[in-house]
Amino acid sequence: MTSPSWSVRRPPALDDALIDQLAAVLIDCVDGGASVSFMHPLTRDRAVAFWRRVAQGVAAGERALLVAEDALGVCGTVQLSFDLPENQPHRADVSKMLVHRRVRRQGLGAALMQAAEQTARDCGKTLLVLDAVTGGDAARLYERLGWTRVGDIPDYALFPQGGFCSTTVYYRNLDEHG
Ligand SMILES: CC(C)(COP(=O)(O)OP(=O)(O)OC[C@H]1O[C@@H](n2cnc3c(N)ncnc32)[C@H](O)[C@@H]1OP(=O)(O)O)[C@@H](O)C(=O)NCCC(=O)NCCS
């Protein structure tokens, strides 16, 4: 078996170069039709503004960002949000799992999620929650990795080119998957 061509790390801060590359990954995903909060076309300015807000959250310790990099630069990312009510100190939300189309279907999505789960454990979290487009590539990934499906919310969001999509909510109890 060949070893993966990427490595995953948790940068303590995001500089302009990293923000630029993360923006490129986000734009690629939206161009590819992913429903990840943005409508098409996603301009570089809007994408950079999004990652600058993420950078503030990382600096404030409110979120953890993981990035995957290969020889061409950033090719994937995922986040954990810890900015939750005080009665949920054991929980984190997983968001913005993004893999550039040039490296899809090689196991990076699974590797990023496993890294996110380990990061959550390292931060003392025992419960993770996320949602994904019903029946999409991400939903299939989470079900394959053993996440528990809670249910669907019809017409939750729009696809980037328009048209409603349903979302499916998932959770994972990390105590049960040590
Ligand atoms: C969802 C997403 C993150 C998955 O990333 P990925 O890196 O392609 O994920 P993986 O490679 O781990 O798995 C994807 C598929 O490739 C297959 N695969 C993994 N390694 C493989 C390999 N070496 N050879 C062939 N197939 C492989 C997996 O079995 C899986 O198959 P399936 O979709 O038929 O179940 C990616 O499609 C993406 O970024 N989509 C757009 C953004 C998005 O929707 N994000 C989710 C927000 S909730």
What tens digit of pLDDT does each residue of 127-141 get? 999 999 999 999 999
Instruction: Give the three-state DSSP class for 2.
Output: coil
Average pLDDT of span 150-164:
98
Query: What is the structure's pLDDT at 53?
Result: 98
Share of the chain above pLDDT 70, in %: 98
pLDDT band at 1 (very low <50, low <70, confident <90, very high): low
Task: Tell me how far the alpha carbon of residue 99 lies from the centroid of ligand 1, in angstroms.
Answer: 8
Strand 127-133 to strand 91-99: parallel, antiparallel, or no bridges (unpaired)?
A: parallel
Query: What mean pLDDT value characterizes the chain?
Result: 97
Atom of ligand 1 lying closest to residue 144 CA: 35
Query: What is the structure's pLDDT at 96?
Result: 98
Q: Specify the residue with its C-alpha closest to ligand 1, atom 6.
A: 109
pLDDT band at 177 (very low <50, low <70, confident <90, very high): low
Query: What is the structure's pLDDT at 176?
Result: 81
Q: Specify the residue with its C-alpha closest to ligand 1, atom 31.
A: 105
Query: What is the structure's pLDDT at 34?
Result: 98
Q: How many CB atoms lie within 10 A of CB 34?
A: 22
Confidence check: pLDDT of 4 > 90? no
Which regions of the chain does DSSP assign to beta strands (E)? Answer: 7-9, 63-70, 73-81, 91-99, 127-133, 148-158, 164-173
Average pLDDT of span 115-138:
98
Judge if pTM exceeds 0.85.
yes
Atom of ligand 1 lying closest to residue 32 CA: 41
Q: Residue 123 and residue 127: Cα distance in Å, rounded? A: 11
Average pLDDT of span 6-26:
98
Query: What is the structure's pLDDT at 3?
Result: 78
Q: Name the amino acid, one letter, at 149.
A: R
Cβ(132) to ligand 1 under 6 A?
Answer: yes
Task: Tell me how far the alpha carbon of residue 104 lies from the centroid of ligand 1, in angstroms.
Answer: 6
Task: Tell me how far the alpha carbon of residue 108 lies from the centroid of ligand 1, in angstroms.
Answer: 7
Average pLDDT of span 109-126:
98
